[in-house]
Structures are given as C-alpha cells and as structure tokens.
Structure 1
Amino acid sequence: MSKTISRRMVLRGLGVSLSLPLLDAMMPRAAAAPSQFKPLAKSLATQPRMICCYVPNGVNILEWMPETAGADYQLSPTLQTLADHRNDFTVLTGMGHPNSQGGHSGADTWLTGADLSATPGSDYTNWVSADQIAAEHHSKETRFGSLQLSDSSGTGSAGHSHTLSFNRRGTPVPAENSPKRLFERLFVPESAGDRAATLKRYAEQKSILDSVLAEAKALHKKLGKKDQRKLDQYLGSVRETEQRVERLENWIDVPKPEIDAKFLQLSSKSHDAHDRPMWIDVMMELSYLAFLTDTTRVISYEWSREAGGLGGGGENHHELSHHGGDAGMLKKLGVIDRFHLSRLARFLDFLKQTEDGDGNMLDHTMVMYGSGMNSGEGGEHSPKNLPLLVAGGHRLGLKHSGHVAHDKDNHPPLSNLLLTMIQKMGVETDSFSDSTGTMLT
C-alpha cells in the first residue's frame, strides 16, 4: 500500500467490531536508517525500575578490562564508549557465579546463580531469577509484572535459553522478539469486540483451571509422596496461570497509554544482519516507553541468544568468541563490544534526559549489563571474571565506585549484586540464591 492506515482501524460486520492486528501498512514508511526516535521530556510516573541487558559470547576481555581500579580508574578502550556516563555506572570485574558452569549456558544462570546440575538424576534444575522476585513485588501496580525480550521468541532449550527470566519453580518465562507484537501488546487499544472476545477467553481458561484443580485434589490423595510433590509443582504452575488471568482481567478496562509509533521502526527483524542496529534500538525504545508509562517496572532483555548473535555490521558474534587468541578475531570482537555499548549509551541518554520526580529516569532505574561467560584471552568460555557493569539508580541508593576489581578466584558471588538490586526495588529480603551480602550501597 502507498498510504499508511490507522492502527485503530477496525472491521465491522453483523454488529461486531474487531480490531486488526498490527500490519505493515499501519507503520510509517521509513528506510533502513538510524532511528529518529527522541526521548520525552517527562515520565508519567516515578517508580523504581530495573532492566537487565545480556550480551552473549563474552567480550574481548583484553580491551574491556580497565588497567586501574577505584573511582579515578582509566576507562578501557571498550568502556570509552560510555565516557559520557562515567559517573553513572560501576564496572565490576573478577566476579561470577561460583555455582555456574558458564559457557553457553550463561544466560540460563545470569539472573539465578543456579547450579544447573545440582539435583541428582536431573540434567537441568534452575531457580527463580532476581527480576521475577522484583516483578512479584510490583505486579499488582502495573499492567505487566515484567517483560521478557530476546532476539528469539519463546524459551529456547535447556542450557541455551532464549530468556533470562525463570519463575519460582525454575521454569523459563517466554520472551518476545517482535517489536510489532510488543508495541501492540503494550500500547494498541482494544476495541469493544476485542474486549468481549478476551473476556470470553479468560472465562473459558478459568473454567478449565477450576476443573483441573478439582480433579487434582481428588487425585492427590491417591498418590505416593514423590508423585504428590510432582503434582504439587504442576499445580503451582496452574495457580500461577490462574493469577495471571485474574491480573489481566483487572486491567482490561484500564486504557493503555497512547504512544505514537511514528519514529519506531517496528518492522525491524532480530535475525536480519542488516536490521541488527535498528532492532536493538527499537527494543530499547520500547523498554524506555514501557518504563516511562509505568506499564512495567521490570525488564529482562537478552540481546542475542548464546552461541549466536550478530554484530552491528552483521558479523558472526559466536564464531569470533572462539578466537583462540587470534589478534584479528579479537579486534573484530572488540568492534562488536563497542557497538553494543553504543546502543546501551543511547538508552542511558534517553533515561537521563527525561525528568522523573526529584531527578531523571536514570536516577530511578537500575541497568545491569553484561554476559554470563568470559571468552578470555584464548576463547575458553570461562564462568569467571564476567564482563559486567551496573548503571543508574542514584536515587534508589546505588553508590557508584568507578571500577571495583575482585580476584577472579576469590570474590563475592554475583548474587550479591542481584540481592542489592532486589532490595532497591523495595523487596524486603536479606538473601538471594547464594548471596553473602550486598554491594554498592
């Protein structure tokens, strides 16, 4: 079509109105070029927020690691990309999850700290992720308790997850990779016909869940203790689904925020090498808008799945992580690292330029960025000395310290940082996973 149609256009017939899905024809016509999106002047609500941004395959650690530590440290060649935000973040080196195997299962444990082989007889056992604990605390106050974003939708497979988020039973929470679907979910209003169809679907789901729970109670009495435990785990997921349906019902009559899609490149594809910069940018823009409108306060974002991913120019990120110490490959890996940080810097700019209560959005938002593996000096995919930084959160009580360097063989668990972030989100707890305390406070 040569003309853009309204995203609020509906089909009418026999007294019923149905809204159309988000179509290409609803999107502004734009060439594949840098985004023209601009931050808004002020947020709609001031709340604590956290976003955890994960890059796969490690980094060129030789160009990432600062040579000096402390508040007056010298930025490394890669971290120079964030020079404008020097006072807004802390670099943490030497840290990792002591129980994690790292490598390409790093995304599975980055926010959980779990030992995936801890349960005898089980190939894979994960724990709840830090973002989901924070989401539980805030879920009643926002349309979405949390958002899960990734370059691959769904959950992936054990050890190669497409999501960073895991619920209380260690079950992965599915991720979204389509900017169009995400925008529609967050901001496209529903017609009367949509509302009626949605309520009918919710009623049917609740009826099925009620029936399942009634039969399960009768079955529970007939089972041995081991099977009862398995059934209880299953029923836990059923109850979680029931609670999610109830939450969605409560929000169905609350209007979604009105957001103009004019400069959002919603047609960008996550696995298109040409689209890669635009796709990262638009997903970060949607994250920014979700925070600004208080649609959610918790986001996990896996920029690429492990053993995959593209650089800003379409480079094979995974292949370069197996560099074997080759100088040429390390140089290319450094280019990808700086490309990623340039997109992070843009997001930090948005947050910092938007007024938010007694400061700006970055003051009230914690941004964790890094990887669950270290490709090291020889491409060894180590779980130690993970590339990691945390930004923002000044008004939440985070105290940035420049470069905090730890011994890679004798360091506090990374769960200490996750515990700190959970607490700054308002959760009253003194432990998370294998934590031994807090940090940056």
Structure 2
Amino acid sequence: MRSHSRRCFLKGVGASVGASLLFSPFYDSIANAAPKKMKRLLVFFTMGTDPGIWRPTSVSGETPTFSEATSPLAEIKEHIVMLDGLPSGSPSNNHGSADGLTGMGYYSNGKYGLISVDQFIAEKLKATWPAGMIPTLLLGAKEEVQGKTGFYKKDNLVPIDSPVSAFKTVFGNAVPTTPGTDNTAALEAMLRRRKSVLDNLKSEIATLKGNLGKEQQYKLDLHLESIRQIEQRLSATMPGNGGGGGGGGPQIPTAPASDPTVPLERNVLHLDIIAGAFASDITRVAGIQFGNDQNMVTGLNKDQWELKMSISAEQHNQMIHGPEKGQLAELERWLSQQFVRVVKKLKETPEADGSGSLLDNTLVAWCRDMGDAPAHTQNEMKFVLASGTNGYLKTSPNGRFIKSSERHERVLLNLCDAMGVTDYDGFGDPTLGAKSPLPGIAAT
C-alpha cells in the first residue's frame, strides 16, 4: 500500500472541502503549523481621541490601571492588548488621512493602491473561501458630513448605514427579514444543505482512505469522528429536536424593525449583525465605522445606557476642540462598552464545528484615524486588540499595555499575520524598512 504525500492528500480531499463551510480547522492543522492563526477579523474604527482621557492612569510592568474612559475594558482584560505611542509614517497627517488603516499617507504607489488592512486581507484570502461569501462586510452609521475616515481601497468605501438594509444584505437569502416571522422552514433548509455536504464528504473520505498510509488514515478517522459530532450538533439545532439556533447552529440575530434615528444606536444593531454573519460563516472580515473623520453625532441618553450623563454634543468641534471634554470621556466609555459587548458576544457563541467559541478564532481590532485628536497628529496611534485566551494574542490575566515607538503599520501587519497573510507585498508604505509584525503581540 503506497502512502500519499501530504500535498497529494490535501489535494485529494480539498476539492469538496473547499466548498464546505465547516472543516477548515482540520485541514489547517495538517497543512499549517501555526495554531494561533485566526479565522476572522473585525475592525472597530473610530475617530482619534484625547490621549489624557484614553491612557491608563498607571502601568505596572505591562499591567494597566484603566482610565475612567476605558474602564469597561477591565471586564475583558484577560483578552486584550492595548497599544500606544506608535507614530504613523506621516505624523502630521490628520483629518481624512488614510494612514489609520492603510499604514500610508495621502500617496500611494503600491500594488493595490491605497488599500486598508481589512481589504488587503480579503484580497489575499477570498480565493480560498467558499463561493458566495461576502469578502468584507462594512457597516457603520454615516453622518451628514461625509469625510474620508473609514475603509480605504483606492477610493473611500462607504459602509452600509441602515441596519435594516444590512440585515437584508447579510441574511436576506437565509431567513425571513420581517420581525416575528416564523423562520423554521428556512433554518431547516439551511441545516439540511449543510448536512448534505457532510454526507458527500464521508463518502469521498472513505474512498480515499484505502490509498493512504497509517498516519493519514488515523487523521481521517479523527476527522470522520468530528463529522459525526457536527452532525449531532446540526440535528440538535433542527426545529422539533430541541434546537433553536444554539449549540453551534446558525446564530441569526433578530431582524431590526426599523432604523434608530440616533446613529450610534444603529451601530449597536450593526455589531449584532456582524456577530451573526461570523457565526453563520457568511463573512470572515468585517468592519464597523463610528462617525467620520470630522463628525460624530451622539444623542445617547443616560437613562438608556450605562452613562453618567447624556451625550448630546458633536464629537469633533464640541468635545475634542470645545468645552465638552466630560462628554468626550463618557463617549469613550460608551465606545469601550460596545467593544466589550461584541467581544463577549463572540466569546459566548460556539463555533459550528465545536472548536471553541467565535472569539477563540477571531481577532477584534479597535483602530483610529489619529493618535492625538486635539493636536491633529498621528504621533501616538492607539489600538485595542482582543482575541480568545487561546487565540492569536499574547494575553495576561490582568490585561497588557504596550507603549512602542515603532511605526503603527507594524500593528496592521499583526492583523495580517493573525489571519495567515504573511506576504505583505502591496500593503502599506513600500519604504518601511521593518516590514514585519510588531514583536510581543502574538502568542508563541
């Protein structure tokens, strides 16, 4: 009996598996020796802030004492890494500069033009994803004044503003979009389609098994067992079998009845849609934009949210450059709450294949367009990164805070590295000497 090479083995199985939504972790474990790579990326993108409000009040080693504005992050401190001090390539760039997500300034002579990190990752990986997947899902409440903060690929990309439209775009072909509609039949059809993929895979694997060596046969036996476990989970989620979307089935959020008038409240719904899209493997790269580079309308009521005061001022002119610094601190605290909420939601949602939670396989990155908004500079770019305790990041039970003078583009390269993209050709500043991720971020 001859033993096929690893490459032939993967090629033989890969044709049908490439169309499957369920088994990439198994094949990655054979072909990729980096167990910390993530399956998904969420970019959480906001305007710059006041460093004095954002910075920890103290740091012991790498352990931060969170400021009032970032205090909600303490709830997920074991999952996060905060970064500060990283300058962009053009520190004097400010409003409308693409540096935040592209690593470059207003110019571009790269392979892809001026491209943001999320778009670059999707360009590199989309050919390996199942057909019909949304390459990048960009959501975020827009404002009356359209600036250029957001998601860049040659020209500014405009996110979907309406949660109702976003829901229909993402789940329109999966379930009814009218609130209160019984979606049993649609969910049942979706799950039966996925089970048919499993049946085909079992047949092909059984045929292939006779041509493999003992070690690869052993791996196939383990994989067949994982398929049986997935079948059981899918059956448990079927209507009538005690299911209801839990236990690894489709995690489809409730369809919004209407679009909230307050832009930031629309983004709360957008985050739920993104989490549902991740759980259903409809997309693997998503971004959410809060306001634009010169304007963020607030209108948050303290009686509705966990705030000390109502937030009614506009972020740029009234908070950052005006007299409402107290509201800016409260807005930052609210943004921290939303970051925490989506991280917890991902942590509480199981993977369809049983490989932990969504957070275990997702990197969430809070990025900004400026490091010091009052000074209009990109001298001290700031990030908050989050992943599962067994994810890409090197984490600590009390959180980690890192201050670095390295270029902020290197953190963007960490996002690429986390997603398994290690060829950086065409991204960022071609003159950057150290074209490598920032050390100390990834778990070893």
Task: Report the TM-score, using the length of structure 1 for normalisation.
Answer: 0.63
- 3-state SS of paired residue (2:119): helix
Q: Structure 1 residue aligned with 2:49, among 54, 59, 66?
A: 59
Checking the alignment, whether the CA contact within 8 Å between 2:45 and 2:367 is kept in structure 1 is yes
1:142-166 Cα deviation digits (max 9, x unpaired): 4111112222299x97xx2263131
Per the TM alignment, residue 83 of structure 1 is displaced from its structure 2 partner at its CA by 0.9
Alignment of 1:344-383 (within 5 A): 344-356=339-351, 357-375=354-372, 379-383=374-378
- 3-state SS of paired residue (1:73): strand
Per the TM alignment, residue 115 of structure 1 is displaced from its structure 2 partner at its CA by 2.0
> Structure 1's 423 and 335: CA in aligned 2 closer, same or farther, altered over 3 A?
same
Checking the alignment, whether the CA contact within 8 Å between 2:349 and 2:358 is kept in structure 1 is yes
Structure 2 residue runs without a partner (length 5+): 1-20, 26-37, 176-248, 301-310
Matched, 1:93 2:84: yes
> Structure 1's 162 and 71: CA in aligned 2 closer, same or farther, altered over 3 A?
closer
- 3-state SS of paired residue (2:102): coil
Q: Structure 2 residue aligned with 1:278, among 255, 265, 285?
A: 265
Matched, 1:183 2:167: yes
Checking the alignment, whether the CA contact within 8 Å between 1:114 and 1:126 is kept in structure 2 is no
The one-letter code matched in structure 1 to 2:336 is L
Per the TM alignment, residue 299 of structure 1 is displaced from its structure 2 partner at its CA by 1.0
Stretch deviating more after TM superposition (412-421 or 384-393): 384-393
The one-letter code matched in structure 2 to 1:438 is P
Extract structure 1 runs of 4+ deviating beyond 6 A. Answer: 43-47
Alignment of 1:78-117 (within 5 A): 78-99=69-90, 101-106=92-97, 108-117=98-107
What is the Cα-based RMSD across aligned positions, in Å? 3.0
Per the TM alignment, residue 69 of structure 1 is displaced from its structure 2 partner at its CA by 5.1
1:1-53 Cα deviation digits (max 9, x unpaired): xxxxxxxxxxxxxxxxxxxxxxxxxxxxxxxxxxxxxxxxxx97876100111
Per the TM alignment, residue 109 of structure 1 is displaced from its structure 2 partner at its CA by 2.5
The one-letter code matched in structure 2 to 1:173 is L
The one-letter code matched in structure 2 to 1:64 is W
Query: Take 1:413 and 1:427, find their aligned partners in 2: how far apart are those partners?
Result: 19
> Structure 1's 266 and 95: CA in aligned 2 closer, same or farther, altered over 3 A?
farther
- The corresponding residue for 1:294 is 281
- The corresponding residue for 1:164 is 151
- The corresponding residue for 1:148 is 138
Matched, 1:428 2:422: yes
- 3-state SS of paired residue (1:360): coil
Query: Take 2:290 and 2:361, find their aligned partners in 1: how far apart are those partners?
Result: 23
- 3-state SS of paired residue (2:402): strand
Checking the alignment, whether the CA contact within 8 Å between 1:44 and 1:292 is kept in structure 2 is no
Query: Take 1:260 and 1:115, find their aligned partners in 2: how far apart are those partners?
Result: 39
Query: Take 1:101 and 1:267, find their aligned partners in 2: how far apart are those partners?
Result: 41
- 3-state SS of paired residue (2:101): coil
Query: Take 2:39 and 2:250, find their aligned partners in 1: how far apart are those partners?
Result: 22
The one-letter code matched in structure 1 to 2:83 is L
Q: Structure 1 residue aligned with 2:64, among 59, 73, 80?
A: 73
Checking the alignment, whether the CA contact within 8 Å between 2:167 and 2:256 is kept in structure 1 is no
> Structure 1's 258 and 425: CA in aligned 2 closer, same or farther, altered over 3 A?
closer
> Structure 1's 163 and 73: CA in aligned 2 closer, same or farther, altered over 3 A?
closer
Per the TM alignment, residue 98 of structure 1 is displaced from its structure 2 partner at its CA by 1.9
- The corresponding residue for 1:307 is 294
Per the TM alignment, residue 393 of structure 1 is displaced from its structure 2 partner at its CA by 5.3
Checking the alignment, whether the CA contact within 8 Å between 2:347 and 2:388 is kept in structure 1 is no
Matched, 1:319 2:314: no
Query: Take 2:392 and 2:386, find their aligned partners in 1: how far apart are those partners?
Result: 12
Checking the alignment, whether the CA contact within 8 Å between 2:94 and 2:377 is kept in structure 1 is yes
Query: Take 2:293 and 2:55, find their aligned partners in 1: how far apart are those partners?
Result: 22
Query: Take 1:320 and 1:153, find their aligned partners in 2: how far apart are those partners?
Result: 16
> Structure 1's 164 and 69: CA in aligned 2 closer, same or farther, altered over 3 A?
farther
Query: Take 1:404 and 1:260, find their aligned partners in 2: how far apart are those partners?
Result: 36
Per the TM alignment, residue 428 of structure 1 is displaced from its structure 2 partner at its CA by 3.1
Structure 1 residue runs without a partner (length 5+): 1-42, 120-124, 192-256
Per the TM alignment, residue 190 of structure 1 is displaced from its structure 2 partner at its CA by 8.5
Identity %: 20
Checking the alignment, whether the CA contact within 8 Å between 2:121 and 2:416 is kept in structure 1 is yes
Query: Take 1:261 and 1:88, find their aligned partners in 2: how far apart are those partners?
Result: 24
- 3-state SS of paired residue (1:161): coil
- The corresponding residue for 2:9 is none
> Structure 1's 320 and 153: CA in aligned 2 closer, same or farther, altered over 3 A?
closer
Per the TM alignment, residue 316 of structure 1 is displaced from its structure 2 partner at its CA by 1.0
> Structure 1's 384 and 69: CA in aligned 2 closer, same or farther, altered over 3 A?
farther
The one-letter code matched in structure 2 to 1:78 is A
> Structure 1's 292 and 44: CA in aligned 2 closer, same or farther, altered over 3 A?
farther
The one-letter code matched in structure 2 to 1:149 is L
1:183-222 Cα deviation digits (max 9, x unpaired): 111111299xxxxxxxxxxxxxxxxxxxxxxxxxxxxxxx
- The corresponding residue for 1:197 is none
